[in-house]
Structures are given as C-alpha cells and as structure tokens.
C-alpha cells in the first residue's frame, strides 16, 4: 500500500501447498502483508511444471512469497520445519487427509510445539461421511450441482475458472483471520478447515433457495427463465456482442429514454418488472432489431451514459489491454519462473481490494524454487557451515 503498512505485516505464514486452493490462501495473506514462506519439495512444487489449463496456476497464486525447498521426510527437514513453525502464526496445508499427520506435521503435533498456531487445512470435504475422499474443483462442481447449473440441459459443464478452489481458499482466509482475532483474546491458536464441497454447496445455495421459494426445480442458467425482461446478449451492427441488463423499474425508464422507446416507457403494463418479464416476447424483438442497427462502441456509449449495466463479451486475454485495469494498477508485472517463457514478464491481476483508496502492491516477485532457502535458514539460526552441509547432503535445495 502506498501510505500505510500492510494490515498483516508481522504475521508469519508457513505454507505447505500445491495447485490452486492452498496457494490462493497464501497469496491473499501475502498480498495483505504477511510473510509467507512456501515450503516446496526438493525439485520444486510440481504445479510449476503443469501445462495446458494448469500452466497459469503457479504464476497467478504464488507472488509475494518466499520459497524454501526441503526434504520433509528426513530428520534434517523435520528439524527445519519445527524451527519454522516454532514462532509462526499460521500454517496452511492442502495435502490429502492424514498426509500431514503421517509426516509428523498435523495440527496436534505442530500446535504442541506452538500453542498460538492457527493451522488451516484445505480439503475436499468438511467432517462427515465424505471427509476421507479426495476431491478436485471439478469433482465438487459436478457433485454440488454447479456444473449442472452452468451447462446446457443434459450436458453439465464446469465453470470457466477454478472458482471453487479460489472461493474455498477465500473462505480459508476468512477462517484464519477469525482465528487470529480470537487468539487476541484467548492467546490460543486453533485449527481452521475449508473445503471444496461445502463451498460448492454455498455457491449453489441461491438455487436451493429458489426451489424452496418457487416450488420448481431450477433449470440450468443457460436456459433459465430470466428474472428480468432485458438480461441478454445482443448482436450489434458490426458483428460484435454486448450483454445488457435492465434490472429495476427506474433503469427501465432510463433505458427507454436513452433509446427512444417512448411507447414502451408510456405503457403502464410495462411499468413493473414482473409485468415486463411476462411480455419478454413482445419486448426483446424490438430491442434486438434496435441494437442490430448500432455498432458496438455506439451502443456501449449510450448504455454507459444512461447508467444501464452492460458488458462487451471479452476473452481473458482482452484484460491485458483493458483501460480501466491498466490505469489503476489492477494488473501487476511479474516475472515467469518456469516453462518455456521463464524469465519473461507478464501482467496479472492484483488482489481486488483497496484500503483507504490504495491497492495492495507487488512486494516480492514470483519465487524460483528454493530461491530463499539460504535466507530463511540463516534467519532460523543456521550458520553458513550447517547450511552448506544441508545443501551438500541434499536435504534442502537452493534456487539458482
């Protein structure tokens, strides 16, 4: 932040994570100012080497962190972890159920070393019949009904982002902050667990409530019955597409005025939203024909002037050049550490928050695997001779 120290400055986090959900917790805490030390295996987090749709996981969710590579199964590696945890505030882990306990790094084991420790586990399921299952974002989107609501009838489709991993990680952060606040009063840490399945259930809770209220099973959003008369994607004269949403009676009047729809504006049978919804078949063909006579930029300018919600139909790549994101520091320049483009820079979204009007900035670039091993070990009290011996024995690794 530009004018004040970050809110989590002084909080130390030890992160044992991979993929998306766990690293999301770590990057949010790191962006908020915590010192986050990512503990990676000797060869580095396997997420660094993912291709395809996973190629962006590591660079997106691991900035502002330090990296140390440790053999967690060796006595020397166990000693390093114990020293790290001894004065840490938070531990994050997203291994399979029981894995950290088998390594000797479960909540009961580490909290015995540090009773003030807040220990956050990111799992597939909370306590219950499914708790030992292994889950993935896509697994819980399918079993939680989100894929059904996203796709076409009889063709479930996952959302176009790791939305459950990311929101599940956000709930993990909320739990951590709540536990830290309670620690201020009790002096004791505690275990926090966030999960993919229950996060999915929370996300589709609006559709469960919809069924309870309406008595009807909600169809997928792709074929839903709209709650508003104008809430659609429209084609423009230049072959582009724009989404437009008119979601209140006041907006309806402004919309009609902006586009010369005097007959609609004066019709008392269209004054209320539910009446307009029942007459969508009358309204939409008129609007579709009107918009097909305007190019995209003209249409959007008129919608913006009228204060009507609208959006161009963009791809993620279009955000690199978005004028709003580029004008406000919402994209941060980072250096890629792995893959064919290692060493090149790119711009990725910052934390979507402001405090006192200031965004959270990049303090530390994406770490190379083991980049901070020597620095962290020295801070733990290891002398140069001992660090050299650990490196020579292959119990820790340092980045180049």
d(CA 390, CA 255): 69
Indicate if the alpha-carbon torsion angle 380, 385, 391, 395 is positive or negative.
negative
d(CA 46, CA 18): 7
Q: Is 165 a known active-site residue? A: yes
Write the Ramachandran bin of 372: left for phi over 0, alpha for psi from -120 to 50, otherwise beta: alpha
Q: What tokens were used for 198?
A: 């229950």
d(CA 47, CA 54): 8
DSSP codes joined into one string, 312-368: E---GGGGGG-HHHHHTT-EEEEE--SSTTTT-EEEEEPPS-EETTEEPPP-SPPPP
Entry field: residues in the chain: 400
Catalytic residue among 45, 71, 137, 165: 165
Contact 38, 67 (CB under 8 A): yes
Q: What is the DSSP letter of 189?
A: -
Catalytic machinery residues: 165
């Amino acid at each position: 932040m530009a004018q004040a120290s970050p809110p989590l400055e002084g909080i130390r986090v030890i992160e044992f994570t991979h993929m998306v959900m766990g690293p999301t917790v770590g990057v949010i805490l790191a962006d908020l100012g915590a010192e986050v030390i990512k503990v990676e295996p000797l060869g580095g987090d396997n997420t660094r080497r993912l291709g395809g749709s996973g190629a962006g996981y590591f660079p997106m969710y691991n900035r502002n962190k330090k990296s140390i590579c440790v053999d967690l199964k060796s006595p020397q590696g166990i000693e390093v972890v114990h020293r790290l945890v001894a004065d840490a505030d938070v531990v994050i882990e997203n291994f399979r159920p029981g894995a950290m306990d088998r390594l000797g790094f479960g909540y009961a084991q580490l909290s015995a070393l540090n009773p003030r420790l807040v220990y956050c586990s990111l799992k597939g399921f909370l306590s219950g019949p499914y708790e030992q299952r292994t889950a993935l974002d896509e697994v819980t989107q399918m079993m939680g009904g989100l894929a059904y609501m996203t796709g076409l009838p009889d063709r479930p489709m996952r959302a176009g982002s790791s939305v459950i991993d990311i929101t599940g990680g956000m709930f993990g952060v909320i739990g951590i902050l709540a536990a830290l606040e309670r620690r201020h009063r009790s002096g004791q840490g505690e275990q926090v667990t966030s999960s993919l399945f229950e996060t999915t259930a929370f996300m589709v809770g609006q559709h469960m409530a919809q069924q309870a209220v309406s008595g009807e099973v909600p169809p997928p959003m792709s074929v839903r019955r709209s709650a508003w008369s104008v809430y659609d994607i429209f084609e423009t004269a230049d072959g582009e597409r724009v989404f437009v949403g008119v979601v209140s009676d006041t907006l309806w009047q402004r919309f009609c005025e902006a586009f010369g729809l005097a007959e609609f504006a004066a019709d008392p049978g269209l004054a209320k939203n539910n009446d307009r919804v029942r007459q969508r078949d009358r309204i939409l063909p008129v609007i579709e024909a009107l918009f097909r006579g305007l190019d995209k930029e003209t249409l959007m300018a008129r919608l913006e002037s009228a204060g009507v919600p609208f959006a161009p139909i963009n791809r993620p790549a279009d955000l690199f050049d978005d004028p709003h994101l580029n004008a406000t520091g919402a994209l941060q320049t980072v250096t890629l550490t792995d893959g064919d483009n290692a060493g090149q820079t790119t711009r990725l979204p910052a934390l979507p928050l402001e405090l006192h009007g200031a965004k959270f900035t990049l303090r530390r670039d994406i770490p190379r695997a083991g980049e901070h091993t020597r620095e962290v070990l020295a801070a733990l009290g290891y002398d140069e001779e001992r660090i050299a011996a650990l490196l020579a024995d292959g119990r820790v690794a340092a980045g180049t």
